Structure 1
Amino acid sequence: MSSFATRSAEERDLAVISSIYTQAVEHSTSTFDLEPPDLDYWRARLDGQHPGDHLLVAVDSDDVAVGYAYSWSYRPRPAYQLTRETSIYLDRKVRGLGVGKLLYPALLETMAVSGVHSAIALVALPNPASERLHLATGFEKVGQMREVGYKFDQWIDVAWYQKLLVTLP
């Protein structure tokens, strides 16, 4: 069995990250994107604009990215600055091997260290594996919206998950 580790993403990881996401865009409802973004989109995620913006990768024993997780702006208004939205995507070949349970906590810890108070995640339904991952990493399901996305000729519901990371004085 392969061993995996996590680290901050680097420029050299962006092509793999893009490929993993393109697979999700083209073949799943886990993202509501209909067209894969270009590498400039991923460079913006890598560079971040806020101390709570992070892009981490899970890597195999050859230091090749096999998944990624990132945090980014939840909403543009200033009062949301300590809340970040999270996303995680894994290469199909490593799903079910515990990579998500290694990568997501690393992201959440990095977010907490940078002062993020609240992590928000949206899960397109049905997606029992993602829901299990969020619950296993300490998220709480806080709501669900019906038929908010339309992809592959079907309406898609979304569940909202939240985890509080840092308590301010």
Structure 2
Amino acid sequence: MDPSTGFSLRPCEAEDIAAITAIYAEAVRYGRASFELDPPDETEMRQRWIKLVEANHPYWVARCAGETVGYAYAGAYRTRPAYSSTLESSVYVDARWRGRGVGEALMTRLIEDAQERGGRQMIAVVGDSANLGSLRLHEKLGFERVGTLRSVGWKHGVWLDTVLMQRPLGAGDSAPR
């Protein structure tokens, strides 16, 4: 554990899925980052994790005192072969740990890992254009806003935008595969 932050990072393990399910459930129920309306159960979250790991995609957790306090992963942006080097990222942090550097540490490690695995572009689809914390985090880590899809999701009684952000990984598009 890093004494300056109070948490450590490691690849996700099966024992983390219950906490990940709870963190995501809170985000689905009360937040606007995810456009899911009903939180998936632990079985579904475990299947999502397995699918990502089997496809050799990075999946990281932040831990403190034996507890999983945040997670981040990257998966295929689209399934068609031409997109194979482009990943879409997701990051969620337990409400008690927000604003303490967990999201930034997770995303930094996720970006490094995605580059090590040969990724060339990372896309963030930020739910809710008013989600300033997520927008600022991604901008700090080198993502640029590339577009806003206006009023594409209806949740909590309002229309919500998604903001598309993009960051090159490794050589990005400056060299052939």
TM-score (norm 2): 0.89
Instruction: List gaps (5 residues or longer) in structure 2.
Output: none
**Whole-Å separation in 2 of the counterparts to 1:111 and 1:44:** 21
Deviation at 1:2, TM superposition (A): 5.6
Task: Give the Cα–Cα distance (whole angstroms) in 1 for the partners of residues 8 and 143 of structure 2.
Answer: 22
- Give the counterpart letter for 1:130 in structure 2: S
Pick the aligned partner of 1:18 from 16, 21, 32: 21
Quote the sequence identity (%). 40
Query: Contact between 1:5 and 1:102, CA under 8 Å: does it hold in 2?
Result: no
Deviation at residue 101 of structure 1 after TM alignment: 1.4
Partner Cα distance (2:29, 2:19) in 1: 15
Q: Which amino acid aligns with 2:124?
A: A
SS in 1 for 2:37: coil
Residue in 2 that maps onto 1:129: 133
Matched, 1:143 2:143: no
Structure 1 vs Structure 2 CA RMSD: 1.4
Which deviations, in whole Å up to 9, do the C-alpha atoms of 1:35-65 show, x marking residues without a partner?
11122332234322423x22110111x1321
1:28 pairs, out of 21, 28, 31, with 31
Instruction: For 2:114, give the aligned amino acid.
Output: M
Report how many aligned residue pairs link the two structures. Answer: 167
Give matches, 1:65-144, under 5 Å.
65-124=68-127, 125-144=129-148
Q: Which residue identity does 2:38 align to in structure 1?
A: E
Distance 1:90 1:140 in 2: 22
**Structure 1 length-normalised TM:** 0.93
State how far apart, in whole Å, the 2-side matches of 1:20 and 1:138 are.
26
Q: Which of 144, 157, 169 pairs up with 1:165?
A: 169
Q: Deviations over 1:96-143 (max 9, x none)?
A: 111111111001101110011111001122111001100111111111
Counterpart-to-counterpart distance in 1, 2:7 and 2:130: 27
